[in-house]
Amino acid sequence: MRFATKQVHAGIEPDPTTGSILTPIYQSTTFVQESVDRYLEKGYSYSRSGNPTVQALDKKLTELEGGAACASFGTGMAAIHAVLLAFLNAGDHAVISDVAYGGTYRLCTKVFTRFGVEFTFADTSDPEDVKKSMRDNTRLILTETPANPTLKLTDIAAVSAIAKEHRVPHAIDNTFLTPYYQRPIELGGDLVIHSTTKYLDGHNATVGGAVVSATDELHEKVAFVQNATGSIMSPQVAWLTLQGCKTLTVRMDAQSANAMAVAKFLEAHPKVGTVRYPGLPSHPQHELATSQASGYGAMVWFEVEGGMAAGKAIMDSLELWTLAENLGSVESLVTHPVTMTHADVEEAERKRVGITDGLVRLSVGLEDVQDLIDDLEKALEKA
Q: Is the peptide bond before 149 cis (omega within 30 degrees of 0)?
A: yes
Gap between the Cα atoms of 168 and 171, Å rounded: 10
Q: Is 106 a catalytic residue?
A: no
Of how many residues is the chain composed? 383
Parallel, antiparallel, or unpaired: how do β-strands 209-213 and 69-73 relate? Answer: antiparallel
User: Which one of the listed residues 58, 92, 123, 173 is annotated catalytic?
Assistant: 173
Query: 116-145 b/e with 16+ CB inside 10 Å = b?
Result: ebbbbbbbbbebeebeebbeeebbbbbbbb
Q: Is 362 exposed, middle or buried (CB count within 10 Å of its CB: 0-12, 13-18, 19+)?
A: buried
253 and 259 Cβ atoms separated by less than 8 Å:
no
Gap between the Cα atoms of 109 and 104, Å rounded: 9
Nearest to 195 by CA among 182, 220, 183, 178: 178
Q: Is 198 a catalytic residue?
A: yes
213 and 66 Cβ atoms separated by less than 8 Å:
no
315 and 375 Cβ atoms separated by less than 8 Å:
no
For the chain, how big is the Rg over CA atoms in Å?
Answer: 21
82 and 229 Cβ atoms separated by less than 8 Å:
yes
User: Which one of the listed residues 198, 221, 350, 361 is annotated catalytic?
Assistant: 198
What is the widest separation between alpha-carbon atoms in the chain?
74
Q: Is 183 a catalytic residue?
A: no
Nearest to 87 by CA among 213, 234, 233, 231: 213
User: Which one of the listed residues 6, 58, 101, 183 is annotated catalytic?
Assistant: 101
Query: 63-100 b/e with 16+ CB inside 10 Å = b?
Result: bbbebbbbbbbbbbbbbbbbbbbbbbeeebbbbbbbbb
Q: Is 173 a catalytic residue?
A: yes
324 and 335 Cβ atoms separated by less than 8 Å:
yes
Task: Give me the active site residues, please.
Answer: 48, 101, 173, 198
